[in-house]
Structure 1
């Protein structure tokens, strides 16, 4: 069993909508250093709309990845051969999934209840993420995953190195490689984990306030008064 953070970034800001966030090699080294210190076996670098190879680091396997800004929200593409660059709002979610599968990668719905309607799209995703910024949505994500018969994974969505590992994925595999991670996701041999470290809990409150103020946080329709619970939850 391996502990892998499937959603990390090398910079703490997103850059401009018209172009990807620049790659930061220092940030990448810091992310892997923190991952190693926290006992993680691997991290996926999923910068917004571009993929930059990262040299292997002793003790930490780096998994190639990209966070694609689709027309309906963000989709993580992780595996041996993610696309090098994508344009913001250029691909619909189905096209992202098809691109991921063509390149032997897994397509994961990222933070499905934050500024996203990807969860409403009928496409053959491989998993749904429990996001480290908003683990309070975990129950919603699990219900969504059950409805679509998909596994759940965990990712910190770290933009600062100290956030690495606040959520991660337990991967059941004999060896840790990009290919084995994809296979484990597709086979359901994965399990999300969320840490309960006090600084992480406090930071989540900050993120919740910020994203609430920005109007980025969604909630399931069945939580709306008068709509009622989802099927099977009556």
Structure 2
């Protein structure tokens, strides 16, 4: 049995690919060490729309992955051979899943209740649904969705900073710990999601709730009032 965070990023910023490519090796080392300190055997590097092979020494083992931005939300692709790059919004969820399966990877619904309508697609053959570490209070909804679709639950922190690693993670029942074995366990349902509940994790969750509440207030203040100085269709 092994524990792995199936959703983590090697950088805390998006875009600026050239800068990110230089930063990613350091970011991967920090992720692996943070995951190791958490007692995890592995962490998947699932950067937005690209995958760079990174296997830093020390800490937890890194598992290849990518977070694909489809035209309806995000899909995690984890396994031995994820695509090296995808164009944001260019693929449908069904196309992202087909791409994952063609490359012997698992396709996972990422944060199904945040900025996504992927969960509404009953006909797409996903392999699992994620309990996301950024908002674990949505877990009852995610569990209900997984039960409806007869899909296993996996856990991922959605970390963009190393200290966030492991706030949600996946228990994998397998005899060995390889990307192929992780994919097989997901497809066979030999996985389960866990949410960390240490004092640090509880403090982080409270801090993020405050940050998001302030963000929503600022967004509401800055958003133009419909019909007041706003052209039709642009509110």
Shorter-chain TM range is 0.7 to 0.9
Task: Report SS of the residue matched to 1:185.
Answer: helix
* 1:34 CA displacement: 0.8
Provide the rounded CA distance (Å) in 2 between the counterparts of 1:56 and 1:79.
17
Matching residue of 1:158: 159
Provide the rounded CA distance (Å) in 2 between the counterparts of 1:84 and 1:47.
10
Matching residue of 2:53: 53
Residue correspondence of structure 1 range 190-209 to structure 2 within 5 A: 190-209=191-210
Provide the rounded CA distance (Å) in 1 between the counterparts of 2:166 and 2:19.
21
Runs of 5+ in structure 2 lacking a partner?
218-235
Provide the rounded CA distance (Å) in 2 between the counterparts of 1:33 and 1:189.
26
Matching residue of 1:110: 110
User: Are 1:74 and 2:92 an aligned pair?
Assistant: no
TM-score (norm: length of structure 1): 0.86
Matching residue of 1:188: 189
Task: State whether residues 32 and 58 of structure 2, in contact with CA within 8 Å, keep that contact through their aligned partners in structure 1.
Answer: no
Task: State whether residues 155 and 167 of structure 1, in contact with CA within 8 Å, keep that contact through their aligned partners in structure 2.
Answer: yes
Structure with a larger share of its residues in helix: 2
Provide the rounded CA distance (Å) in 2 between the counterparts of 1:77 and 1:186.
13
Matching residue of 1:28: 28
Task: State whether residues 68 and 88 of structure 2, in contact with CA within 8 Å, keep that contact through their aligned partners in structure 1.
Answer: yes
* 1:60 CA displacement: 2.2
Task: State whether residues 108 and 129 of structure 1, in contact with CA within 8 Å, keep that contact through their aligned partners in structure 2.
Answer: yes
Matching residue of 2:6: 6
Provide the rounded CA distance (Å) in 1 between the counterparts of 2:152 and 2:168.
15
* Total equivalences in the alignment: 213
* 1:50 CA displacement: 0.1
Task: State whether residues 55 and 61 of structure 2, in contact with CA within 8 Å, keep that contact through their aligned partners in structure 1.
Answer: no
Matching residue of 1:147: 148
Larger radius of gyration: 2
TM-score (norm: length of structure 2): 0.86
* 1:36 CA displacement: 1.0
Cα root mean square deviation, aligned: 1.8
